[in-house]
Amino acid sequence: MGDVLCEELEDLVHFSVHDLPARGYVVMEEIRRQGKLCDVTLK
Protein backbone atom coordinates (compact mmCIF):
# COMPACT_ATOMS: atom_id res chain seq x y z
CA MET A 1 0.00 0.00 0.00
CA GLY A 2 2.87 2.40 0.76
CA ASP A 3 4.34 1.86 -2.71
CA VAL A 4 1.11 3.00 -4.36
CA LEU A 5 1.10 6.24 -2.36
CA CYS A 6 4.74 6.87 -3.24
CA GLU A 7 4.05 6.36 -6.96
CA GLU A 8 1.13 8.81 -6.81
CA LEU A 9 3.30 11.45 -5.14
CA GLU A 10 5.93 11.14 -7.88
CA ASP A 11 3.30 12.42 -10.35
CA LEU A 12 2.47 15.44 -8.19
CA VAL A 13 3.57 18.86 -9.42
CA HIS A 14 2.98 21.97 -7.33
CA PHE A 15 3.54 25.53 -8.45
CA SER A 16 2.29 28.89 -7.33
CA VAL A 17 2.18 32.36 -8.80
CA HIS A 18 1.69 34.93 -6.08
CA ASP A 19 0.51 37.72 -8.39
CA LEU A 20 -1.57 35.54 -10.73
CA PRO A 21 -4.81 37.54 -10.38
CA ALA A 22 -3.05 40.83 -11.05
CA ARG A 23 -1.23 39.44 -14.09
CA GLY A 24 -4.08 37.24 -15.29
CA TYR A 25 -6.68 40.02 -15.53
CA VAL A 26 -4.36 42.18 -17.62
CA VAL A 27 -3.63 39.32 -20.02
CA MET A 28 -7.32 38.39 -20.33
CA GLU A 29 -8.24 42.02 -21.03
CA GLU A 30 -5.63 42.20 -23.82
CA ILE A 31 -6.94 38.96 -25.36
CA ARG A 32 -10.48 40.37 -25.21
CA ARG A 33 -9.37 43.61 -26.90
CA GLN A 34 -7.82 41.59 -29.73
CA GLY A 35 -11.21 39.97 -30.31
CA LYS A 36 -9.96 36.52 -29.35
CA LEU A 37 -12.19 36.28 -26.29
CA CYS A 38 -15.91 36.84 -26.02
CA ASP A 39 -18.07 37.67 -23.03
CA VAL A 40 -20.67 35.04 -22.14
CA THR A 41 -23.65 35.51 -19.86
CA LEU A 42 -25.32 32.41 -18.45
CA LYS A 43 -28.92 32.68 -17.33
Looking at the domain assignment, is residue 43 inside a domain?
A: no
Taking the model in full, what pTM does it have? 0.40
Q: pLDDT per position in the chain (43 positions), as tens?
A: 445 555 566 677 777 778 878 888 888 888 888 988 777 888 8
What angle (nearest 5°) sits at the alpha carbon of residue 16, between those of residues 11 and 1?
25
Give φ, ψ of 34 to 5 degrees: -75, -5
DSSP character string of the chain: -HHHHHHHHHT------TTHHHHHHHHHHHHHHTTS-------
Range of the structural domain that residue 22 is part of: 3-34
Residue 41 domain-assigned? no
Domain tally, the chain: 1
Query: Does residue 42 fall inside a structural domain?
Result: no
Contacts of 31 (CB under 8 A, 6+ apart): 37
pLDDT at 17: 75
